[in-house]
Amino acid sequence: MTLPSECLICHQWPGPALCESCVLNFAQPRARCQLCALPGADPVCSACRATPPVWDACLCAVDYGYPWQACVARLKFQGELGLANSLGQLMRHAPWVERALEQATCLLPMPLSDQRLRERGYNQALLLARSLRQGLKIPLPVHWLQKWRDTPAQSELARDERLRNVAGSFSLAPSHRHRLRNARVVLVDDVMTTGASLQAACQLLRHAGVAHITTLVLARTNAPGTSPSEKS
């Protein structure tokens, strides 16, 4: 593995992994639902008004489309760990993220199962969380939230199947459960599609007495039938 010496998107060399021009061109803030982060003009979309999620707020940096889909793949599946810092800082500069971090009492990465962690060798959500935490004194416990059961890949499943797939797959370390009571947690992941995994983890955090949960993801997939350039 070598650290990037050129921009991932425009290939400007030498330069950072994400050059300023590409960030300006491809990571402009969008109006989003405060609860599911789907693009839209309403502060809370109709779906979330009808069925609110378990968490209190959902923040994301970019849509899961060109060019970010390839960036996520390079970090997640191709072992380019040097990208995590640049992508984490992209998340940190998204609207409302800095405020959420300042108010948080705990930063939690979405866990991988032991089997998946052995196969991949690292947890990309933890790498992003470490980047987000730079210069801050927020605790980043890596073993409080655990995924004790490996589950099939979510990518090809419908929402209902995803919910069933991850049900009961997360656990909290008993020796640290009491530390979550009345906490303000920022839960970090790389991509949110239906939110099934985040939902399962957040239900567990709620049962432990967490007072406020912000889910923070790098990228958000779009609603079915829309393209990344369409607003819902």
Q: What is the dihedral of CA 206, 60, 144, 197, to 10 degrees?
A: 70
At 97-108, the pLDDT tens digits run 999 999 999 999
At 186-216, the pLDDT tens digits run 999 999 998 989 999 999 999 999 999 999 9
Please count the structural domains in the chain: 1
Supply the pLDDT for residue 14.
86
Omega of the bond prior to 67 within 30 degrees of 0, cis?
yes
- 69: tokens are 């889909």
**Residue 122 in contact with residue 106, Cβ under 8 Å?**
no
**Residue 173 in contact with residue 144, Cβ under 8 Å?**
yes
pTM for this prediction: 0.88
d(C-alpha 115, C-alpha 221), whole Å:
26
- The answer to whether position 97 is within a domain reads yes
CATH number of the CATH domain containing 194: 3.40.50
DSSP letters for 76-117: HTS--TTHHHHHHHHHHTSTTHHHHHHH-SEEEEPPPBHHHH
- The answer to whether position 225 is within a domain reads no
- The answer to whether position 142 is within a domain reads yes
- The answer to whether position 43 is within a domain reads yes
Which residue range is the domain that position 184 belongs to?
29-220
At 139-188, the pLDDT tens digits run 999 999 998 766 655 555 555 655 566 666 789 999 999 999 999 999 99
Of 42-46, 124-128, 132-136, 227-231, which range is least confident?
Answer: 227-231
Q: What is the dihedral of CA 60, 40, 42, 216, to 10 degrees?
A: -10
- Give the residue with greater pLDDT, 49 vs 82: 49
- The answer to whether position 8 is within a domain reads no
Supply the pLDDT for residue 163.
58
Q: What is the mean pLDDT of residues 110-118?
A: 92
d(C-alpha 97, C-alpha 61), whole Å:
9
Mean pLDDT for the chain? Answer: 88
- The answer to whether position 138 is within a domain reads yes
- The answer to whether position 19 is within a domain reads no
Supply the pLDDT for residue 21.
94
Q: What is the mean pLDDT of residues 74-87?
A: 93
